[in-house]
Amino acid sequence: MIDEKDHSSDSQVEKALENWITSFRGGVIVLLVIAVLYEGDLHGIGIIERISKQTDGIVQVPLGTIYALLQRFIRMGLIETYKDPEDQRKTIYKLNKRGKSFYQNIRELWLRYSVAVNSFLDSMEE
């Protein structure tokens, strides 16, 4: 007989895991998009392709997500845009001074946290 209490608990664990993945993924995507733009100006599809290639396909950024995020960065004053001189239909995104500072800050936080978390998890294995 299936214990409904256990089934409910499994469902709650799955929901908690989904929520954690969504939050974690969102933060990682912010960092990677800003990192790509720190390297140079690029259009939305190019950002998606660069992230996919550099992460061996592990991080996939949906089309809708990239443009919503880029619009948020524009509103925050982190990036500017201009039209591609070779194809006026394409918008190129450029990290400005504020965006570069933002990148440097979140990169430093990521490095410190990832080292600390990895060290902690490694110590749990001993």
Q: 2 pLDDT band (50/70/90 cuts)?
A: very low
Return the amino acid letter for 23.
S
pLDDT score of 65: 93
Say which DSSP state 3 is in. -
CATH assignment of 4-125? Answer: 1.10.10.10
Residue 43: phi, psi to the nearest 5? Answer: -90, 165
Domain ranges of the chain: 4-125
pLDDT score of 126: 67
Residue located via tokens 């410190």: 112
pLDDT score of 21: 87
CA-wise closest residue to 29 among 42, 57, 53, 48: 48
pLDDT tens figures, 9-24: 788 999 999 988 888 8
52 Cβ neighbours under 8 A, 6+ residues apart: 59, 60, 61
Question: What dihedral angle (degrees, nearest 10) is formed by the CA atoms of 75, 77, 83, 84?
Answer: -120
Q: Cβ distance 74 to 96 under 8 Å?
A: no
pLDDT tens figures, 49-96: 999 999 999 999 999 999 999 999 999 999 999 999 999 999 999 999
Residue 81, H or E segment: strand 79-84
pLDDT score of 1: 46
